[in-house]
Chain A
């Protein structure tokens, strides 16, 4: 009932403000009945006073999303048993009748495929790494490796959407949008949520803007995609002969017209529009300063790899992510495409690793040497894992792997996570033996690290309060330092 009452009064407020026809008495009554009705002009201001709920360990997030699902069995989750049983059938007791994708469910055989890569342990915590990611392996002591992630979706779109928004259907706000909504931007000249895309040579799976959508939140919280060209934010530069002063005047006039429209119609999106123009105006100054990678010293170029100077590469995006993050962007979301190795995995994964290995490690190293790693949470992982059995023809040293949602590996660094290796899968890398971490748990934990209690961080939409973690999720205390 409360919602209806509040809605009604909301409508009245607009009427009062524009026409003042109902008088002050009604206003007073309204504010008596719903305390706080006139307190704050928007939800964001309300939240700014409540969040973070408690002391955050991470102020910012850089999420290196490995789109297409990298094979945990060829990178982090070392399973000698699979090499020993290479070519033998996946035991029914392991698969246990669990569902498969349409791509392999009709296969007559499910021959186990042992990794072709050599593995070695690195660092004090004894994490196993494949030879194809030597640089990431060298950062072992900084990494919190979770080998026991699992998800509910088995195909890319729902799995990606689930990881990004906490639901498989694409109508909910993305993680970054929630963070933008709850914590706002540290630097008011940059969007709180930025998105960077890159693509490897491996089998491609697309990304789509619904993954960084604001859902039912105000559209100011939508992820701002930086394009891969030499002008990362399109149409940001002024046309010739327009100076900043003129621009200011134009924007002021437009804003006053918009204010007028808002008073008449009361559509909150109009206010958003005004804010977006203002942000864009300020971004005109801030963005070129940050996105120009030319002035980075040579040692940094070496660290990220020389590809980092070519716009649109994963390396360039990692470097850009550091610069955005150090300039106060709350949530930088990268996507690197091409990990969907259904076939020819050994060759494809080498190419993908070549793209991401050096830059991912460099990002951690770079944040650390600037004293920023402890307040920045870096996340590396895909939307699910890959099967221990071969998709298509298995030979001595070539194989493909299908989607595997039941156990896979992601890692995090900095921002209050505990370095170490957590969770364990069975000898076949198929099922989880200890510390299962569901996607909801992952979200709850990331939110916790940002100082947000995921159960109390809600948005009311169509009569229901929504959370990033829906009605589930628990904080995984084991991985928090």
Chain B
């Protein structure tokens, strides 16, 4: 069935790379056509004929009661690698957001990166309970429905695994944006500010630390200081207008804005207030950053001031550009310390810099888009971006970062990233370091 349609489709759908090649080979013609429309170019079949979708009845309006992306977008998916797991076991692993396809600053929930320590738990919301106890006047246990009765707030906040970029400490390894920086996403999160609940429960003055514990097989637990808890920590049940996805801790996770995603405990079960830190496994044996001194930074909370150019990148190269084309360099900047104030761009590997423009919403602890209009010259470039924020942190060079913490820290890597663009417009992951 639909044989004619299939033929049409296979003829008109070429891979992006093929398309670029074709376009490049007829670039002179294309350039001429701008001046004299249609003078030299063959007529486009896609214009000359009605498409199948215009000459037949489409699907019923609600044929997908819960919608999916176009099936043509099937390659826009999270990806993982055996390197991100133990022995290739994908229960304690991480999958990366396809940042090269990310539009704006909200990551679709289904593309939000996922880190699990004992698989994705599937929690029955009817059996869900949250207990808050310890150094509070009035301990409490809540069902999901009771929790959602608390007044809610919604905030756009990025979520980043502190291992983001960890494969790159000793040099470049992956040749894709997705694997260089994909352990992060940004969503609008909805839930209750924890302080709102604590105001009712009565936090005792000797409470200095909070244990957050998950209900999954790994019983993920972490200790947070009270100051943060009372500032902006939330208990969230909503993501991008709907319930959290299972992979993000359905039905409830902790949200510590700007801090390690690992602290934003998923499948949240219990919050206990105490006067001492707990030394949980994921804040001692892991999620501590070993420095060249032989000692490790612990309780390393806030994600660093950071940025990356998302276009061009190895997945979205400039191979279709001609000399003289005006093209947008686009990227993402973020900081767990506060709000991005600006981003600088270098074309020569960090010797000279110009200021990029920020665009869209500029929010604390959220992805911020930056843009720079560039006249393509077809010459090799070492493209870099460098962000700075309102806490006065400036993104370091690879050398500046490793001078202080060495190359074995695993976590919180935020050195300036470099894309090498060659004369053909191909983009490769490199590092400028010594």
Q: Do A and B come from one complex?
A: no
- Chain A residues close to B by CB (< 8 Å): none
- Chain B residues close to A by CB (< 8 Å): none
